[in-house]
């Protein structure tokens, strides 16, 4: 597929114990269905050609022979398909019986991977029948009339990705084979499993796969036995799980009475970027055991046919999933409060000064201040909130600012900037009727001067209110709202600011405060630096000028966090915002994003301190170091070529 996506699937077929022909037929049907969906690599459960629960039947030569015949049938019957398939069967090699995964494509068997770690405890007795991979010295085997590479260290190279295979218990080892395979170059790991169910085990299994996927910076595709396996002593629920760097992309439904197929796309390009960035991964490669990996080369599915991207692309990548929303919002607020608390303690300040506009950013900053003072057991009246009405201040935002300060019990002060700005315009000979950048920025700088000077009077810290999205776009006045003593919102993007304020309103505010916060949330975002319209409503709306923040936050996330190029970001944005923004709108604001991001770096190069709260920070001392005069030409050219 395009842009580094590799489409994979985990299949859970229905099986009959020791009925190899039937099982091969079920597997073939699922391979055909997967191929029709554009799947490039598919994995099946452990020992799926015989079923896992054959017990002492595994020692029967008849079963071993029929398993190989079923594999031959399967390889021949799928030779017209491009898809790479991975199935399990028992395989005799000299005097040892191995539990192997066989990888094949277009009539050719690419390799056989034996299981390394055999469970022989509790309900498991695998060492009764099988030998571990470490017991054999052969590196090839005759299988279905082909001489096939054999080994636990096989790497399968395609033009699009490199993948490795491990089997069930291998994952549960302290150092799984997949760790070594990943350090040797495998970007996707496929696991054939026969994981039985017990109360509480499924959650542990998921956490194990998630951690291994994250630790190895890989895609991890897991297929486990389901309906048809023996239930004499244990039950198999049938698990198909697909992870990418610790994130679940797709999962089957457990305890189904029929076969299942789950598919998704793993972004190999993203994983490669993560590995390049993660110096620990590179350093760990140097400590990897010296034994060379055996590489098997093959082709991948013809990608000239365009298949729809089926994995979900969240339009708001900074927003926590609903299931973890409360926990994540609380954690972010704690990070902001802890950062501010440390700064107050270090400086010995017991007073904070903050400008309150009645807008989202200053509201979140004030809520953080109030919670921080509560944690430090400081009187909230030592928070000095200053509202500074200007030429564009509307009654709605003014009233919300005043009301919020009263409800939170802080000290409030009103200082109008109108006369000071008019005097300043007179001093610099600027026509007050010319509402240009000078007109707007003079107001922002006057407000900052007031805050800084009052802070000097009160021996206080000025708390910055600007957010991460504004820093990315440079939507801040240099040496105006750009400056503070500590910027509590510096790591919080605008889309997340909204959710945090709403979360506080819903979870920890009284009725009056909740109503005020919800009204602030519904107020158009604006710096209010130009006069209101004829109805007294906000005239200067930020998103009309620079574009929707949800688009810019999407661009920001995938540009910095994923390090994607504009064409791929556009590809993802079309899916994420399908039905909301058309192609021309996405292209327009993406060009605006890159133009502003590059041209406004000089503001980020001298940011005040502020806490990182998520996966992205634009602090020059933290995540982002970029020359202020870097050219955006490459990125803008690709935007133009879309």
Whether 174 contacts 210, CB under 8 Å: no
The active-site residue, picked from 28, 48, 68, 115, is: 115
Among candidate residues 20, 168, 349, 369, the one labeled active-site is 168
Annotated active-site residue in 46, 269, 446, 550: 46
Specify whether the CB–CB gap between 465 and 356 falls below 8 A.
no
Those residues whose C-beta lies under 8 Å from the C-beta of residue 496, and which sit 6 or more positions away, are: 318, 319, 332, 553, 614
The H helix count followed by the E strand count for the chain is 20, 20
Give the closest residue to 210 by CA, choosing from 178, 164, 241. 241
Quote the tokens at residue 480: 């105006």
Q: CB atoms < 10 A from the CB of 51, how many?
A: 26
- Taking residue 122's Cβ as centre, other Cβ atoms within 10 Å add up to 9
Active site residue 494: no
**Which helix H or strand E contains 272, and what residues bound it?**
helix 268-277
Q: Report DSSP letters for 347-410, one per residue.
A: HT---EEEE--SSHHHHHHHHHHHHHHHHTT--GGGEEEEE---TT--HHHHHHHHHHHHHHT-
C-alpha R_g of the chain: 30
Q: Which two tokens stand for residue 638?
A: 């690709």
In degrees, rounded to 5, the angle at the alpha carbon of residue 97 between the alpha carbons of residues 94 and 100 is 110
Per-position b or e across 597-623, b if 16+ CB within 10 A of its CB: bbebbebbeebeebbbbbebbbbeebe
Maximum Cα–Cα distance across the chain: 100
The string of DSSP codes covering 129-174 is T---GGG---SEEEETTEEEEB-TTEEEE-SS-EEEEEEGGGGGSS
Instruction: Specify whether 168 is catalytic.
Output: yes
* The dihedral sign for the CA sequence 49, 52, 54, 57: positive
Q: How far apart are the first and last CA of the chain?
A: 18
Q: Do 68 and 90 touch, CB atoms closer than 8 A?
A: no
**48 is a catalytic site residue:** no
d(CA 618, CA 601): 9
Residue ranges with strand state E in 471-568: 486-487
Burial class (CB in 10 A: 0-12, 13-18, 19+), 105: buried
Catalytic residues: 46, 115, 168
């Amino acid at each position: 597929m395009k842009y580094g996506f590799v489409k994979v699937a985990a299949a859970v077929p229905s099986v009959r114990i020791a009925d190899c022909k039937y099982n091969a037929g079920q597997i073939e049907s699922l391979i055909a269905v997967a191929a029709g969906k554009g799947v490039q690599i598919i994995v099946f459960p452990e020992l799926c050609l015989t079923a896992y629960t054959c017990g002492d039947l595994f020692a029967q030569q008849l079963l071993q022979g029929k398993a190989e015949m079923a594999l031959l049938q399967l390889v021949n019957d799928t030779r017209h398909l491009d898809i790479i398939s991975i199935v399990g069967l028992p395989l005799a090699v000299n005097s040892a019986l191995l539990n192997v995964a066989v990888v094949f494509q277009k009539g050719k068997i690419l390799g056989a991977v034996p299981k390394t770690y055999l469970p022989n405890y509790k309900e498991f007795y695998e060492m009764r029948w099988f030998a571990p991979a470490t017991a054999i010295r052969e590196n090839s085997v005759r299988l279905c009339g082909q001489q096939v590479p054999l080994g636990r260290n096989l790497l399968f190279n395609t033009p699009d990705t490199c993948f490795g295979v491990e089997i069930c218990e291998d994952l549960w080892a302290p150092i799984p084979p997949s760790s070594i395979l990943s350090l040797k170059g495998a970007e996707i790991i496929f696991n054939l499993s026969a994981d039985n169910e017990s109360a509480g085990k499924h959650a542990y299994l998921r956490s194990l796969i998630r951690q291994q996927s994250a630790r190895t910076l890989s895609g991890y595709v897991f297929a486990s036995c389901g309906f048809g396996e023996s239930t004499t002593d244990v039950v198999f629920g049938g698990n198909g799980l697909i992870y990418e760097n610790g994130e679940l992309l797709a999962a089957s439904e457990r305890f189904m009475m029929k076969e299942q197929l789950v598919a998704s796309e793993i972004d190999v390009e993203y994983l490669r970027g993560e590995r390049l960035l993660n110096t620990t991964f590179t350093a760990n490669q140097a400590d990897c055991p010296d034994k060379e990996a055996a590489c098997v080369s093959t082709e991948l599915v013809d990608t000239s046919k365009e298949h729809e991207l089926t994995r979900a692309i969240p339009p708001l990548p900074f927003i926590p999933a609903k299931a973890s929303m409360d926990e994540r919002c609380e954690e972010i607020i704690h990070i902001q409060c802890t950062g501010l608390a440390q700064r107050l303690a270090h400086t010995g300040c017991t007073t904070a000064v903050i400008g309150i506009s009645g807008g989202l950013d200053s509201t979140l900053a004030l809520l953080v201040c109030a919670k921080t003072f509560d944690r430090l057991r400081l009187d909230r009246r030592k928070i000095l909130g200053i509202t500074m009405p200007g030429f564009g201040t509307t009654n709605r935002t003014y009233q919300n600012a005043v009301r919020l300060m009263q409800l939170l019990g802080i000290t409030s002060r009103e200082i109008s900037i109108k006369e000071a700005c008019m005097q300043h315009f007179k001093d610099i000979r600027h026509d007050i009727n010319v509402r240009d950048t000078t007109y707007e920025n003079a107001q922002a700088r006057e407000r900052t001067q007031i805050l800084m000077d009052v802070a000097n009077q009160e021996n206080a810290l000025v708390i910055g209110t600007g957010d991460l999205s504004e820093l990315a776009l440079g939507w801040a006045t240099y040496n105006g709202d750009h400056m503070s003593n500590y910027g509590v919102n510096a790591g919080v993007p605008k889309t997340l600011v909204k959710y945090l304020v709403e979360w506080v309103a819903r979870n920890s505010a009284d009725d009056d405060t909740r109503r005020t916060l919800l009204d602030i949330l519904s107020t158009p975002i604006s710096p209010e630096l130009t006069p209101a319209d004829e109805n007294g409503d906000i005239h200067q709306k930020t998103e009309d000028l620079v574009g929707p923040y949800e688009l810019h936050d999407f661009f920001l996330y995938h540009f910095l966090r994923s390090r994607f190029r504009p064409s791929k970001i556009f590809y993802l944005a079309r899916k994420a915002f399908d039905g909301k923004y058309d192609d021309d709108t996405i292209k327009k604001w993406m060009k605006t994003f890159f133009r502003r991001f590059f041209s406004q770096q000089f503001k980020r190069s001298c940011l005040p301190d502020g806490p990182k709260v998520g996966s992205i920070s634009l602090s020059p001392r933290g995540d982002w170091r970029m020359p202020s005069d870097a050219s955006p030409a490459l990125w803008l050219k690709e935007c133009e070529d879309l």
